[in-house]
Chain A
Amino acid sequence: MQLFVNIVVLGSIYALIACGYVLIYRVSRVLNLAHGELMMLGAYLLLATAWLFRGEPVLALAAAILLSLIVGALVYVFLMRKMTGEMVLAAILATVALGILIRGGVVLVWSAQQQYPAQALGVPNPSLALPAGARISLWSGVLVAANAAVYAALFFFLRFGRWGMRMRAAGQSPLLAAQRGINLHGIYALAWSLSTFTGALAGILMALDSGLTSSMPIIALKAFPAALVGGLDSLAGALIGAVIVAGAEVLLIYYVDPLLADVVPFLVLIAMLIVRPWGLFGTREELDRV
């Protein structure tokens, strides 16, 4: 039973991170390799707001989340907007550079030590008992619930107003989308804000659960295979892919070798790339006629 709980928790982490990748990819075909660093930035912002709003954890949390929404939009406006129209590889490298910049900046401002936002906020993290003798910490539970809420909200949003289809159209052919009146800048900024928001949420909840170090972005890199397995432009795929990757990781760690933890997602990734590169639910991107 504990194994099952572990899979659910890890799967929720991966899913919450993966939907950030999906949102941006769907809308601009860009792989946001700074997602992990942005996620970490969200958690560090919580430290800052915890210090600002001492003694008021709810306010601090809300402020941190709001800030992350703004940061996402700013990243688009000041950086990624200049890369529209350039090669996708250049845009991806720009995100890599941004990630490096954020990582360096975070260490410069907050030092490389491990931080404990839960302590800073003054919030406890008790271990809750579940049926069949399994245990889960409070903030992990909150994360699972938050993940479900986020996905539900996104599904609803993307169906309403045909935003989902417009995002796909913008991703496939930005030039044509712009000519057809789809406000590209608006849609991109929206995608970046939402993506940073979900990432920061994941980062904050993880930091509240188990502390914050400057090596948090590695988890985001492991969550990326989850997004790809499901299909890089499919939200439903991200959820299912996350469960698959998390399941494989937890089971293989338990039954085979604990050192495999960091490499299992990539083994799953390779397997998927061999069999079905566009993932379980992604749009096939091979339709190009000469």
Chain B
Amino acid sequence: MFRSAPRASGYFRTDYAQDLALIQTRAERWSLAVFAAALALFPFVASPFALDLASQVFLVSIGALSLMLLTGYAGQISLGHAGLIAAGAFTTGILAREVGAPFWITLPASAITGALLGFVFGLPSLRLRGLYLAVSTLALYFIVIYLGGEYETKRGFSTGIVVDPPILFGIKLTDGRAWYFVLLVAATLNLLICMNLLRSRSGRAWRALHARETVAAALGINVARYKLLAFIISSSMTSVAGSLFAYYRGFVSIEAFDLFLSIQYVAMIIIGGMGSLLGALLGAAFVTLLPYAIEALLHLLPNVQRLADDIFAVDYSAFGVVMLLFLLLEPLGLVGIWRRIQNYFLLWPFKYRPLAGADK
């Protein structure tokens, strides 16, 4: 995204603003316009099922982008993502149910809860790294889940909390199309926030401390502050996603936030490609659509009935297989595949890049 040179000739950047601009060539401007138009028209031509799928992808990508920010860019491994989503969902559920709070209070409240929880999740990162940090996030996740479970049992919501649809600008959000646009806007906003964070001082600091912490500290970057910032911002965004999830589903229950959900998010950023926002989006789409693709595939095969009964187990196994394939064969993820295709066309008919100095 932040390339050293625009991928088209004739564009010369003469000031810093041009250097940082997100859209740098005419081709980019056009393709963005076409893409935006396609997204806007989609709800009017697609079936409700496809609409729901697309909305799910948007919702999930918010969480994926925030995890990419935390793990892909700042390098802080977090296995407790599901706990943060749960926190946002539960805050919304509790406030809506106990106090009857409206949408424009529960959403910020979820964000704040997420930020506070992110602070707590981030504290171990000041002392621990790598595996031990991952383990600490795992432990904190279990504690969050325990608290959620406690709340459910103690307050009698053992089957879960029912949440009414939110009222946005006076309109009750029940329509699939309305949700599509709301979630599209949310995801786009999130994407823009992430992109801006990354091309600003925080982004540079995160990349630095991810690469080599001691050197970053030596260069004057306040490592502790930026680590905590990464956790707080990422968790806040994730909790907002959780809040939206609660409204979209209309239902909050602690069982929905199992460890598998955390792993799915981690898989998204790995399958998509670490260290790339595009990767987060691709990964989110891939993992969300995978179960449906498997189901469609199963229907094409004969002798399906027995497997279709165990569809959950099939999804599970297929997910494991796909994750393994990506880890073994393409550790750079979908973005890696995309870049390899790009390289092939850029270098053709040559196979290898020339040696430095060979052009003399």
- Could you list which residues of chain A lie within 8 angstroms of chain B, going by C-beta atoms? 29, 31, 79, 82-83, 86, 88-90, 92-94, 96-105, 107-108, 111-112, 221, 224-225, 228, 259-260, 262-263, 266-267, 269-270, 273-274, 277, 290
B312-335 Cβ-contact flags toward A at 8 Å (1 or 0)? 111111111101100110010000
* Cα–Cα, bound, A103→B263 (Å): 14
A-B contacts, 16 of them at CB < 8 A, read A82-B328, A83-B328, A89-B77, A89-B134, A96-B266, A97-B323, A100-B319, A101-B316, A104-B318, A107-B310, A107-B316, A108-B317, A266-B143, A267-B139, A273-B132, A273-B136
Which residues of chain A come closer than 8 Å to B321, judged between CB atoms?
97, 101
Chain A: which residue is nearest B138 at the CB level?
Answer: A266
A264 to chain B, nearest CB (A): 10
Query: Interface size class for chain B?
Result: 35 or more
A194 to chain B, nearest CB (A): 21
* Cα–Cα, bound, A290→B214 (Å): 7
Which residues of chain A come closer than 8 Å to B138, judged between CB atoms?
266
* Cα–Cα, bound, A82→B138 (Å): 26
Which residues of chain B come closer than 8 Å to A277, judged between CB atoms?
127-128, 132
- What 6 pairs between A and B have smallest CB-CB spacing? A101-B320, A104-B317, A104-B316, A100-B320, A97-B323, A107-B313
**Extra inter-chain contacts (4) besides given A103-B320, A273-B132, CB under 8 Å:** A83-B327, A228-B135, A273-B135, A273-B136
Interface residues of B in 110-157 (CB under 8 A from A): 124, 127-128, 130-132, 134-136, 138-140, 142-143, 146, 149-150, 153
* Cα–Cα, bound, A118→B321 (Å): 32
Which residues of chain B come closer than 8 Å to A225, judged between CB atoms?
139
Contact among B136, B259, B314 for A270, CB-based, below 8 A: B136
Interface residues of B in 36-51 (CB under 8 A from A): none
B30 proximal to A (CB < 8 A): no
Contact among A89, A97, A260, A273 for B139, CB-based, below 8 A: A273
A83, A88, A97 — which one has the most chain B CB atoms within 10 A of its CB? A97
B136, B260, B266 — which one has the most chain A CB atoms within 10 A of its CB? B136
Whether A97 touches B317, Cβ cut-off 8 Å, given contacts A266-B142, A270-B140, is: no
Which residues of chain B come closer than 8 Å to A108, judged between CB atoms?
307, 310, 313-314, 317
Query: Do the beta carbons of B77 and A269 come within 8 Å of each other?
Result: no
Query: Do the beta carbons of A273 and B131 come within 8 Å of each other?
Result: no
